[in-house]
Structure 1
Amino acid sequence: MDGGASYNPRTVEEVFRDFKGRRAAMIKALTTDVEEFYKQCDPGTWFLFLFFKWRIYCWLHGFNLDKKTNSIIRCLSRFYSWYLCLVLDAQNVTELIKTLITEKENLCLYGYPSEQWEVNLPAEEVPPELPEPALGINFARDGMQEKDWLSLVAVHSDAWLLAVAFYFGARFGFDKADRKRLFNMINDLPTIFEVVTGATKKQTKEKSSVSNHSSNKSKSNSKRGSESQPKYSKAAASKDEVEDGMEDEDDEEHGETLCGACGENYAADEFWICCDICEKWFHGKCVKITPARAEHIKQYKCPSCSNKRARP
């Protein structure tokens, strides 16, 4: 682990900067880099061995299982037997079983101040220098739907970020005022869970529909329609609006829009693009899309929607 051990922020601003870097890294893992993150959280094949062992145990002890359970266990055991046949030429059974059992251990998702993320084993030293993130996120992966699993990892990631931030606060003697200021700075940002699940988009979406309705009303009057401007619009989606300047009222509404990748607030001087599938907005720089390139895209899909595929 090379993210937290060598870097110790000492002021409220430094701790908050550390928090933002780690948060951005974990959001990246759960959104733009979700395909790679999913692969790295492979739980391994150890569960096949456990099912095989369970079937033998039930048979030896004469347990009567219902037809459905028996059928599931039989299929899994048969699959496991086929798996053994394929690899027996490469290694003996003892080595194979040892590999299956120890193939994967409890993995954690780490976010570093450099905005880099890593899936790795927990720290070996006890107690660890920094609070540890949730263990075994890989083992829950195949037991639930992907979106639910990502939400679960996001919740634990939020808890870990707070633990690390206030660990630094305690270590360097932050007083009541410093702790309160740090919390308020953190609380102004949406949680990883809110970014991953899109919870922060609901209010923005509702306001968008209301403003679109009022815009349609104004268009019915040809005279007023030519003079009025849309109440809810994206400066990033229209160069003309950027050049003409946005009103204070527009800026307030835009400020509530959050990037689906980094979770940061909207700014009038930045290029944004909306995914036509999930309807989330993204900084152009976060998804590597420039205004010139956006003009040639008929339907834009964000990295998360592009990487979605059926999971086994």
Structure 2
Amino acid sequence: MDSALPLSSAESSSSTQQASQPLHGQQDTAAPMEVEVTLTPAPAAAAAPVPAAAISRPRYCGTVERTFRQFTYRRVALIRAVTQDEKVLFRKCNPRMEPLCLYGNTNGSWEVLPPKLFAPSGQPEPKLGINLVREKMRRLNWLQYISGHSDAWLIRISFFHAADLEARERQRLFSMISMLPIVQETFITSETYRRIRDQENMIDESKDEDEGCGSYPTVCARCGDRYHANGFWVRCTLCKCWSHGKCVKVKFFQEEVIRNFECPECCAEKRGYD
């Protein structure tokens, strides 16, 4: 068996070059080699630490002018509710419904609704249950009651949204709000207030006249003031005239004195005859 003879270095180089060259009529189809280059990014600069106060409380993006504008729209809406729209407000506040609140919106409208379930945490709510006290108060007192609580709510919700303002900005906001008349003051000086007041006074006078007919006089025999249903009066057993209890120094719990009461004029005449 013939053993393979080792090739010389020249023959080995010649055979390597011949193997690397393509044959005649044959193209080199080998794809070029791709080199993958990985770039390492430079280390980012360390971020500045965030204060704990900024993380715990979300910032309200508001300004003094924006907060005051919202206050103005809410105020106008609430004033209209207790003046021009007082009949609509009275009708919407049904005592048989669940407790309701009067809201003044930032678009100048008002609405009577139950407390909002999805209001932001900590946001002040208007007075609850204004419909439940409607039948327990006169209309004039009821509207004045609502306007007073509306003023308190306007201040609370305005400074709730101004919590992120600086002290100087909050002071300027308070000065701008203080320049406007409050809701209750505007209601008392309105034509609606005077109209309802006159109507209630006329009703009171007619009741006084009805109650003063027959056995009830229209005036006190001592001071001459008109009779009022809520006052304490006593009647003389002799002349049948009525007087204020305070005018004749008689208390409402003195039953025996009231039952046998004689007015000072009758007592003087009686002593004169005796």
Q: TM-score, normalised by structure 1?
A: 0.42
Higher relative contact order (CA 8 A, sep 6+): 1
Structure of higher CA gyration radius:
2
Between Structure 1 and Structure 2, the one with more helix by share is 1
